[in-house]
Structure 1
C-alpha cells in the first residue's frame, strides 16, 4: 500500500466510504463483455469450412502437487510499465482516462482504486479498491500523481525509486525499485469538508449507534 494512514482518520474514512457509491474501474470491462456480445451473433452464422474430422478426446491432465503462491499476483506487460509524459520533478505519467472537475490538494482525502507493480519485472505487489488515503500521507510520487487527477480519471504513474521507497526494501519491493501504479480517482473530500466531518463526529452523543445500512 502506498501510504500510512493516521488512526485519527478512521471515522472519517468510514464515513467517506459510506458516502461514496461503489465504482469499479471499467478498464477491463470491454474484454469481459465482448465474448458475451459476439458469441450469440456467431451462433447464427453458418459454417464456411467443412467440419473437422472427429478426434480422440484429449488425455486428462495429470494432477500437479505444486502449491500456488498466495496472494495470486499477475505480471503486467512491458507496454504498460512505460509512461508518455513527465513532470519537472521526474514523475512519469500517462493519462488513461480524463476526469472532470477540480483536483485534490495536499491536505485533501481521496478515495481510489489502484494497482502497483514493479517497473523492472511487472510483478504486482499491491492492489486495492475504494481505498481512502490522505494526499499528503503517501510516497512523494504517488502524492504528486494524485494532484493531477479529477474525479473519474485514471492515470498510470511511473515513479522513480527516489520518489518512492528509495533504498528501503520490503518482501515484495526490492531496494531502489522504480514503481508503476494505475490509479483511478473515485472521489475526494477537501480539508474543509474533512473538518466539518470531524466536528459532526465529535458532536455525536457517546454510545449512539449508527443507522443500520440499507440493503
Structure 2
C-alpha cells in the first residue's frame, strides 16, 4: 500500500484507549463457565478480543450446543460496568497523545455505543472524541469485516486510503487492511503477551508499537 499523509486517525477503544480487555475477559470467563462451559480469561482473550458481542455469543452457543439465556448479554454488560467502575484505567499516556494530534480523529469499536461512552467517560477521554464515536452496532458486519472502518471514514468525510487505524486485535488489523487503510498495531495493553506483536504483524499490521507516546512519530513516519 502506498503511504499518503494521514487524514484521519481511527482508534479502537478497548485495549487501545482504555485498558479494559483483562477486566472484560475475566467477567466473560466467569459468565461462560456458569453456563457449564469452563473457560479462562486467557481463553476469552484468545478467542474474543476485538469482536462484537453478537459474534461472541454465536461462538459460545456453538460450543454449548444450545442458546445462551436471553439476558446473557445484559448481565455480562452489567458485570463489566461494575468491574470497570472498580478498576478501569486509560492506557498510559493516551490522553496527552490524543490531545497533541492535530489530525481529525474518531473511535471505531466493536463495543456497544453505551459501552464506548461509559468507558471513555469513566477514564475522562470522552471529551477528546465525542461526537465521533462509531460502534459495530451501526453496521451489518463487525470486525474483521471492513464495514465499521469504512463507515467511520465516510462519516468523517475522509477517503479510506488516507485513514490510519490504531488497533490491538487481529480482527481489527484484518478489518483495517480489508478497508484499504494503514494499520498500526498497539501492544501496550494489559492483555498483550510476548507473542502479541507477532500476531498483529501476521494479521497485516504495518508497524507494531508498545508505548502510546510513539504514536505521533509513527503517524508522520508512515506518511508519504
The structure carrying a bigger helix percent of its residues is 2
The structure carrying a bigger strand percent of its residues is 1
In the superposition, the TM-score normalised over structure 1's length comes to: 0.24
Of structures 1 and 2, the larger Rg is shown by 1
- Greater relative contact order: 1 or 2 (C-alpha under 8 angstroms, separation 6 or more)? 2
In the superposition, the TM-score normalised over structure 2's length comes to: 0.23
